[in-house]
Amino acid sequence: MKYIFWLSLILLTQVYILYPITLRLLSLLLKNSENSKNNHPADVRQRVNSEQASENSGSDKVSIIISAHNEEEIIEQKILNTLALDYPKDKMEIWIGDDGSTDKTAEIVQKFGEVHLFKKEKNEGKAAMLNDLCKMAKGDFFLFSDANTMIEKNALKNLISGFTNSSIGCVCGQLALKDESDSALSKMESLYWSGESKLKMLESRFGAMMGSNGALYAIRTELYPVLPTHKTIMDDFYITAKILMKNYSCIFCENALAYENTSVSKYGEFNRKVRIGRANFNFLSAFSPLLNPLHPMKAYMFLSHKLLRWLSPFLLLALFTSSILLIEAHLFYKVFLSLELLFAIAALLGVRLCNYFLSMNFALFLGFFKSFFKENGGAWKREERQK
């Protein structure tokens, strides 16, 4: 039981404390190393963040891919935002897929002659829609974005400028959450995404960013993997993971900014995290090549940033159970159990950090068990965001 306790504690510490620290230290070592070849990921990141665009920026055709379901309230604003991007219009095409919407999404899209509309009568899911849109799109790069995401004018140009050599397969932009409600949920969501962006930035220095943000990322057209449609899938992570498995670099561009409003309801956000957890466990075996010891940094990042985080609910449960069973073994375990109970009580009383942490892990826990149940395809339901 002591082995279970200490192993669980060490692995949880690795996920939430040691990984960010070690990643920062490793990036500093990389930055100071004598190996400064032109194609090194560290140098790539410096060029991505440079104000000077690469020579071929704007000369490559980009297909902007947007999958939408019941987005009548925001889709016109999204189209206007996309049309205003600072990129040659003859090198940019916009594809919007209406996935069985029951509102006026398609009618609004049809008002814009510059936009290609692909409409399905039945809601088949985002993955199926992306597969269809990517078959029709003709760009050298695919830019994926969500219907509720607003992109800064120079973001597209900065993203495409990130493809400075043929080894870079994916460039992800930075998402910032906008909140006018000042709610506890919104503040914690913003804090979470801020931390995620910092991790992606550090991982980018090694060319192995662990997952894109579906709000804004671009890939080379030929690297798009056909997405499975029989189960719920996190398309942004799946696509990035498959590109990493092909030994292409995936990097972060902090100068490509996008904005979204935070969730209206904490229950809607919780359900979204359950769906994310289910999707991760649905295809867990598909990501096993990322643990290849021949690519130690990539394996370390996937293990620490993703796999162990997905397993955190079970590590927390093992830690709590073992501390109960060890309560008579030593005073340390009594104190530790008391701290665990205080943390749980604080979460129930609504203390922001405690509540968000436990609810996020409980959502993952539910997602794990849901992954064992049969699904009727990957149909989706949008979660309401603040207006």
pLDDT, tens digit, 9 for 90 and up, residues 254-307: 999 999 877 656 677 788 889 999 999 999 999 999 999 999 999 999 999 999
CA 14-353-384 angle, to 5 degrees, is: 110
Distance, CA of 13 to CA of 319 (rounded, Å): 12
Q: What is the pLDDT of residues 217-246, one digit of tens each?
A: 999 999 999 999 989 999 999 999 999 999
Distance, CA of 73 to CA of 105 (rounded, Å): 8
**Cα-Cα-Cα-Cα dihedral sign, residues 318, 324, 325, 328:** positive
227: which DSSP letter? P
Q: 153 with 85: CB under 8 angstroms? A: yes
Amino acid at 275: R
Distance, CA of 117 to CA of 97 (rounded, Å): 6
Higher pLDDT, 213 or 387: 213
Distance, CA of 299 to CA of 28 (rounded, Å): 19
Runs of H (alpha helix) within the chain: 2-13, 19-32, 41-48, 75-83, 105-109, 126-136, 155-161, 184-204, 235-245, 266-282, 296-301, 308-310, 312-325, 331-348, 352-370
Q: What mean pLDDT do residues 176-190 have?
A: 71
Q: Which residue has the tokens 């991982």?
A: 203
Give the model's pLDDT for residue 58.
58
Q: Which two tokens stand for residue 117?
A: 């509309």
Q: Which residues of 261-289 are buried (b: 16+ CB within 10 A; e: fewer)?
A: bbbbebebbbbebbbbbbbbbbbeeebeb
Residue 326, pLDDT > 50, answer: yes
β partners of residue 118 = 97
382: which DSSP letter? P
Q: Which residue has the tokens 């090549």?
A: 289
β partners of residue 171 = 218, 251
- Side-chain-side CA neighbours of 118 within 13 Å: the count stands at 19
Residue 45, pLDDT > 50, answer: no
Q: Which residues of 91-125 are buried (b: 16+ CB within 10 A; e: fewer)?
A: ebbbbbbbbbbeeebbebbeebeebbbbebeebbb
Distance, CA of 260 to CA of 74 (rounded, Å): 11
Percentage of the chain with pLDDT > 90? 73
The CATH label, of 3.20.20.70, 3.90.550.10, 3.40.50.261, 3.10.20.340, for the domain at 41-263 is: 3.90.550.10
Domain coordinates of the chain in residue numbers? 41-263
Distance, CA of 92 to CA of 214 (rounded, Å): 19
Higher pLDDT, 191 or 253: 253
284: which DSSP letter? G
Distance, CA of 185 to CA of 376 (rounded, Å): 31
Q: Which two tokens stand for residue 210?
A: 């662990």
Mean pLDDT of the chain: 88
Give the model's pLDDT for residue 182.
60
